[in-house]
Structure 1
Amino acid sequence: MENCAMPPVKFTSRRTVLLCIFALTIATVLLAVFLHKPSQPAYITAPVRLGSIENAVLATGRLDAVERVNVGAQVSGQVKSLKVKVGDKVTKGQSVAEIDDLLQRNDLRTAEASLNEIKADMLAKQAQLKQAESKYKRQRRMLSEEASSQEDYEDAETTLATLRAQMQSLNARLVQAQITVDKKKVDLSYTRVVAPMDGIVIAVVTQQGQTVNSTQSAPTIIKLARLDVMTIKAQISEADITRVRPGQKAWFTIFSEPEHRYDATLRTVELAPESIMKDDSLASNSTSSGSGTSNASVYYNALLDVPNAGNRLRIAMTAQVSMVLGEAKNTLLIPVQAVHKTADKKSQVQVLTPDGHTEAREVKTGITNNVDVQILSGLKAGETVTLSQPEAKPAEGVFFL
């Protein structure tokens, strides 16, 4: 009986091994479950920050002087002297050039001689008229006394009437001669070319010694401009034209100083497109509207004034113009992609909480520039908003016993 019993030591050792294997398996599973935590959703986010925002109508324009004139000659002749050069400042009435005046002086002398001749004829005719009046009165008295014949009386009467008519003709010739003299004096004054306004000489077109001919049109001698104030002619699309108004604040940059902002003021917006100023294209488009519709864009010229005390701005420069519709400084900003409209047309954002979840929050928005939007209420600086929802990921593997 004692030889049939199993040794107790062997039974205990096998049981211990099984228990150890089971415990190790449980520990492995628990460790795998603990280490295999689901990852947090990946959001694209942006912080709520303080900054400045501006909503503006953008346009491209050209700079020009607020006043610019071509100073020309109104008489023909040789330019005897040119008294200015490019860059010179001139005042209104200042002489800028002189044209040889010999022809004009001779014309004036001829006209004055004709005037003096008519005046002399009038003096002689006045003496004859006075004599004729005396003779007529004498003949009338003698006729009443029957001391003279009817024929002598009529001769005296006819002579008086003729002399009076001649005096009227001389008076008319005198007026005409005086007009001619005045005109020749004006022509003589035109040989002295003067500046019509204060400004700066921006171009000299005609050189000294050159002959000008004013028969058909006044030849330009110099070009004069006021550069203390510049005007920008900017083209505004018809899509934006109702958003701008005179007196509106604006700013612009130029190619040589893209980082420098120049302030300007919108003076006016032209009532018709520039094409209407050049031709009657509007009428032609209306006439041809039955055969087809034109898709050409329509632009209106906006005129903006900008001070130019240092003459840094030049004529014909290109200006990138921003006409400000609204602006705010030191205000809360977030990207426009973060704002969504609810079913009841309210603005809403998704705010990322510290534990990695999101919460919907209603906000009140203000100015937008299509990149950022102003937040008037509903958020605080430093909070984080989401720009997009996380993408759905495939289910992770699960460990089973």
Structure 2
Amino acid sequence: MPDYVKILKDRFSQQPLVAGGIGLVILIAFGMFFLGNGEETEYQTVVIGRSTIRSSVSATGTLSALVTVEVGTQLSGQISELHADFNSEVAKGQLIARIDPATFENRVEQAEAELAIAEASVIQAQASVAESEATLAEAKRVLKRLEELRQRGTVSVAQLDTAMTEVEKAEARRTSAKAQVTTAKAQVKQRQASLSSAWVDLERTYIRSPVDGVVIGRDVDLGQTVAASLQAPILFTIARDLSKMQLEVNVDEADIGQIEEGLRVKFDVDAYSTRKFSGSVEQIRKAPLVEQNVVTYTIIVSADNADQKLLPGMTANVEIIVTERENVLTLPNRALRFRPPADVLASFELSRLRSASEGTTQARVWTMDNGKLSPAVITLGITDGRSTEIIEGLDEGQEIILTSAVAAQQEGRPRRRGPF
């Protein structure tokens, strides 16, 4: 043990009153440090005034075009022409790409040839009908002559029967020829349908824009082969009329009850953080979205985009204005949290707060009248999280307490864990 420690130990052991006095001084210093010097408590106050206050719901959303069309193809083949790229403005019906038409042109020629053959078959069948009718007419004339000769007894019964059989055969051949005509005509219709289908496929090699808009996505390149099997491949994505946008906003289930169609909306995006955009609630979708046991609902917000600063896919910080009131009495929310010291509270007989009407609450604040504290029960309206509307209980110009001066100083400096 060092010599100076031994000396101090000996001194304190020999003079216990000195040690006790030092301890008392330390306790007094600690008390003065934490409890103050006994002067009258000072308070930080604010004067009640009027302002505009709004109650709102905050959320995030994603921007998208009002109408987005995915342009695909029903055909398989190689892209032989490209007439549109990213950000290209296109009109409805404008050619934006083409699939190599060679295969489909051959199918058209083949269908035309098959149609010509079918039409020729109709002519041939009609000729067979005419031939069968001529044969039938000849057989009937022979039968008539034989019947006359039979009456004279110059023709046998067997000859007459043979002539009748020839007539029946001719009638059967005529019926068969007419059926062949019907079959040939049906084949013509079938070949016409095949030709029409071949023309439709050839026309489908022209990829045209279905709407007026801007190309925001291109998923093919020149020479690329696309295969249309169970699902049509997407070639382009076209946004229709980017001068109007929509926001898909996810609102928590606790807040969805406050949202109504037509409410005003303000939002900003990271690209233009100093600019506020506006819109309105167009639709509240009833289907819930559940992610990690958190339930949200999607609302659709429409917004003007005349200068086209807003782009599809941007993330927006959204404020849905539920209620807004202008020129009303307000107070800072800090005043609602202030509580005077226990000895001050004991000097007042405070009544219990009664329940307020729907949409309002009651609270107790402390006013400063001629340097004296006084409690006041007030009725509160809407709040924006920082300030709250005063419906009744205080007048404009009254002074209310926010906090004590000591507490205000302690809020402005790091909190200590001890005296050192």
Q: TM class, shorter-chain normalised?
A: 0.7 to 0.9
Deviation at 1:349, TM superposition (A): 4.3
Matching of residue 298 in structure 1 with residue 313 in structure 2: no
Q: Does 1:345 align with 2:359?
A: no
Q: 1:219 aligns with which of 233, 236, 241?
A: 233
1:376 equivalent to 2:386? Answer no
Aligned to 2:114: 114
Measure, in 2, the Cα distance between the counterparts of 1:52 and 1:91.
47
Structure-2 separation of matches of 1:390 and 1:350: 17
Task: Please report the RMSD computed on the Cα atoms of aligned residues, expressed in angstroms.
Answer: 2.9
2:48–2:399 CA contact under 8 A, matched in 1 = yes
Check the 8 A contact 1:247/1:267 in 2, yes or no: yes
Question: In the alignment, does 2:94 pair up with 1:97?
Answer: no
Shift of 1:219: 2.8
Q: Deviations over 1:165-211 (max 9, x none)?
A: 22232232222211111111111111111001111111322122223
Instruction: Give 1:265 shift.
Output: 1.6
CA contact (8 A) 1:234 1:301 kept: yes
TM-score, normalising length: structure 2: 0.72
| 1:271 partnered with 2:286 | yes
Percent of aligned positions that are identical: 28
Trace 1:59-70 onto structure 2 (pairs within 5 A): 59-70=59-70
**Structure-2 residue corresponding to 1:261:** 276
The alignment's TM-score, normalised by the length of structure 1, stands at 0.75
Residue 126 (str. 1) matches residue 141 (str. 2): no
CA contact (8 A) 1:230 1:305 kept: yes
CA contact (8 A) 2:74 2:228 kept: yes
The residue identity in structure 1 corresponding to 2:224 is: Q
Q: Which is worse superposed, 258-267 or 143-152?
A: 143-152
1:214 aligned counterpart, secondary structure? coil
Question: Are the aligned partners of 1:349 and 1:386 in contact in 2 as well (CA < 8 Å)?
Answer: no
Distance change in 2, residues 1:369/1:140 (3 Å): farther
User: Which residue pairs with 2:264 in the alignment?
Assistant: 249
CA distance in 1, matches of 2:382, 2:321: 11
CA distance in 2, matches of 1:133, 1:42: 128
1:356 paired with 2:371, answer yes
Superposed displacement of residue 326, structure 1: 0.4
Alpha-carbon spacing, 1:297–1:144, altered in 2? closer, same or farther (3 Å): farther
CA separation in 2, counterparts of 1:270 and 1:348?
37
Compute the displacement of 1:212 (Å): 2.4
Q: Secondary structure at the match of 2:326?
A: strand
What are the Cα deviations for residues 234-276 of structure 1, in whole angstroms up to 9, with x where unaligned? 111222222212222212111223332211121212221246x
- For residue 313 of structure 1, what is the aligned residue in structure 2? 310
Map 1:140-159 → 2, pairs under 5 A: 146=147, 149-159=163-173
Cα distance per residue 1:215-235 (max 9 Å; x no partner): 443333322112222221111
Structure-1 residue corresponding to 2:322: 325
What corresponds to 2:221 in structure 1?
A: 207
| Distance in 2 (alpha carbons) for counterparts of 1:100 and 1:253 | 46
Which SS does the other structure have where 1:79 is aligned? strand
What's 2:332 paired with? 335
1:98–1:192 contact (8 Å) kept in structure 2 = yes
Deviation at 1:304, TM superposition (A): 1.3
Superposed, 1:13-24 pairs within 5 Å as none
SS of corresponding position for 1:315: coil
Distance 1:371 1:136 in 2: 108
Residue matched to 2:200: 186
Distance change (3 Å), C-alpha of 1:383 and 1:143: farther
Residue type matched to 2:53 in 1? I
What's the counterpart of residue 33 of structure 1?
none
User: CA separation of 1:257/1:47 partners in 2, compared to 1, >3 Å: closer, same or farther?
Assistant: farther
Shift in alpha-carbon separation, 1:39–1:109, aligned structure 2, 3 A? same
Q: Secondary structure at the match of 1:170?
A: helix
Gaps of 5+ in 2: 1-37, 149-159, 338-350, 357-361, 407-420
2: CA distance, partners of 1:113 / 1:328: 79
Could you say if the C-alpha distance between residues 156 and 269 of structure 1 is closer, same or farther in structure 2, counting changes exceeding 3 Å?
same
- 8 Å CA contact retained: 2:61, 2:315: yes
The alpha carbon displacement at 1:369 in A equals 2.3
CA distance in 2, matches of 1:48, 1:351: 12
CA shift for structure 1 position 329: 2.6
Report if the CA contact (8 A) 2:78-2:100 is conserved: yes
Q: Counterpart in 2 of 1:161? A: 175
Structure 1 SS opposite 2:287: coil
Q: Distance between the aligned counterparts of 1:50 and 1:142, measured in 2?
A: 122
**Residues 339, 190 of structure 1: CA spacing in aligned structure 2 closer, same or farther, 3 A cutoff?**
same
Cα distance change of structure 1 residues 135 and 43 upon mapping to structure 2, 3 Å threshold = farther
Conserved 8 A contact 1:351-1:383: no
Letter in 2 for 1:120: A
Are 1:234 and 2:249 an aligned pair?
yes
Inter-partner Cα distance in structure 2 for 1:141 and 1:370: 113
* 1:278 corresponds to: none
Q: Which segment is superposed worse, 210-219 or 155-164?
A: 210-219
